[in-house]
Chain A
């Protein structure tokens, strides 16, 4: 379990760095993003989308950090978390629903969507819609296989 504790510590550090960076970016967008929105090619919706995405990621990561810290303080919780992450049934379900591949490609597509938003609105919305479709598909498959096994 000591090895796993070290892994959790690394994860906490990584997530904290990301949260700090995201909060700083959020502050920057709040003060500067809407000024740029005056330019014709830049739309308010895009700033809104970025703000929403960042906020949800910050909330999600803070929740995860709290979860890890709580688990590290309690050995039973730590073992439960370890078992949960290394459970063979969960791994099977994840593999069958294409968890890792779909999640990774969706994240890449979302980032591509955000960047393309600065150049072409239609391409941006198409990419984001595509990513959300993939994520929904992944969730549905996960639900299906969770019921099946």
Chain B
């Protein structure tokens, strides 16, 4: 799944480690989500979106899911 996490991190000048610590996960998980290897759970997606004051749809691209 495509996400805007990388762009948002750069905008907020955050490292993966800092974001991971803030949302209660590990740096490796953030890397995997950014690369599209791992699809995060609803809870983690909510935490990430809330951290950037955005909705889940604004951070995560659900177009691939909708196609199915």
Q: Point out the residues of chain A lying under 8 angstroms from B54, CB to CB.
A: none
Q: Which of A53-92 contact B (CB under 8 A)?
A: 76, 79-80, 82-84, 86-90
Q: How many A-B residue pairs have CB under 8 A?
A: 33
Number of interface residues of A (CB under 8 A): 13
- Taking the complex as formed, is A149 at the interface, i.e. its CB lies under 8 A from any CB of chain B? yes
Q: Categorize the interface residue count of chain B.
A: 10 to 19
Q: Mark B11-41, 1 if CB is under 8 A from A, else 0.
A: 0000000001100111011001000011011
The minimal Cβ–Cβ distance linking A96 to chain B, given in whole angstroms, is 12
Q: Point out the residues of chain B lying under 8 angstroms from A82, CB to CB.
A: 24
Q: Point out the residues of chain A lying under 8 angstroms from B8, CB to CB.
A: none
- A83 near B21: Cβ-Cβ < 8 Å: yes
- Taking the complex as formed, is A148 at the interface, i.e. its CB lies under 8 A from any CB of chain B? yes
- B32 near A83: Cβ-Cβ < 8 Å: no
Interface residues of B (CB under 8 A from A): 20-21, 24-26, 28-29, 32, 37-38, 40-41, 43-44
Interface residues of A (CB under 8 A from B): 76, 79-80, 82-84, 86-90, 148-149
